[in-house]
Amino acid sequence: MRRLFIFGLGYTAGFIASLFEAHGWEVVSTGSGGTLAFDDEGSVRLALADADHVLSSVPPGREGRGEPLDFVLERYGDALRGKALSYLSSTGVYGDTAGAWVDESAPVGTGRRTARAEADAAWLALGARVYRLPGIYGPGRSILERLTLGRAHRIDLPDQVFSRVHVEDIAAGVLTGISAQPGAYNLADDLPCAQNLLVEEACRLTGTPLPPLQSLEEAELSPMARAFYAENRRVANGRAKRVLGWRPRYPTYVEGLAALARRQRDH
């Protein structure tokens, strides 16, 4: 039985683990839902030695707080050399492109995610498959839940465009990439678009009135939510399709939200 070791079994990595297990892999992991404690170095190193593939979803350290660039590489980097590796990164490494398309050849490190860009580069230097992810949505984490909680906003920024990806499509991309050549891969859906379109589709699916159109100031967003609007880009997924043979099950938000709405009704 092939073994996958996951650093950081959170929301996205949990879907990856489930898909690998469904394909006959044994999964060992650290994180809140994991099987090992990250600090249990003896057990972690023993499990790493037996792993056929290692995935990290652990974000980089926070700048200005004296944290390491990457917790996993700092503590276990020596045990990862020669291993087949995957790393979950972010399309935030590309920074703001004023809505222009970016692929894996675009410059990185110019945006607000400089620590992420440095960690991304460090994993690439180790020979990892680095999956650059845009906004992630899926069961329990989508505009449908925010709409129900009254936290959905329509912001009056007509030229603002985002890319996104369904969490199940990320899992499928990581699985198809197991035997692929190392390098960077964007896992994004086929239709970058304004966030307002998602809100409007969610309202249509649920029969909910549209939230008012507001400016950024009127919406009184949290600093994290406001930062979401600080960058504007379209993420191209052609390399993942060509090299990995990856095809998103949910190529646009329309299919993705429809599936989530059906899931909600069924439960």
Confidence band (pLDDT; 50, 70, 90) for 229?
A: confident
Count of CA atoms in the C-beta half-sphere (13 A) of 150: 0
Return the structure tokens found at 112.
């607000």
Residue 59, C-beta contacts closer than 8 angstroms, at least 6 positions apart:
116, 119
Distance CA 64, CA 216 (A): 27
Task: Give me the mean pLDDT over the 28-35 stretch.
Answer: 93
What pLDDT score was predicted for residue 226? 83
What percentage of the chain reaches a pLDDT higher than 90?
A: 84
Confidence band (pLDDT; 50, 70, 90) for 266?
A: confident
Name the β-bridge partners of 54: 5, 85
pLDDT digits (tens, 9 = 90+) for 134-179: 999 999 999 999 999 999 999 999 889 999 999 999 999 999 999 9
Residue 209: CB atoms within 10 A of its CB come to 7
Distance CA 254, CA 62 (A): 35
pLDDT digits (tens, 9 = 90+) for 46-99: 999 999 999 999 999 876 666 788 999 999 999 999 999 999 999 999 999 999
Domains in the chain, start-ordered, CATH in brackets? 82-266 (3.40.50.720)
Least confident among 45-49, 77-81, 129-133, 219-223: 219-223
Return the structure tokens found at 141.
């984490």
What pLDDT score was predicted for residue 10? 96
What pLDDT score was predicted for residue 87? 98
What pLDDT score was predicted for residue 63? 66
What percentage of the chain reaches a pLDDT higher than 70?
A: 98
Name the β-bridge partners of 102: 235
What pLDDT score was predicted for residue 65? 67
Task: Give me the mean pLDDT over the 191-201 stretch.
Answer: 96
Confidence band (pLDDT; 50, 70, 90) for 132?
A: very high
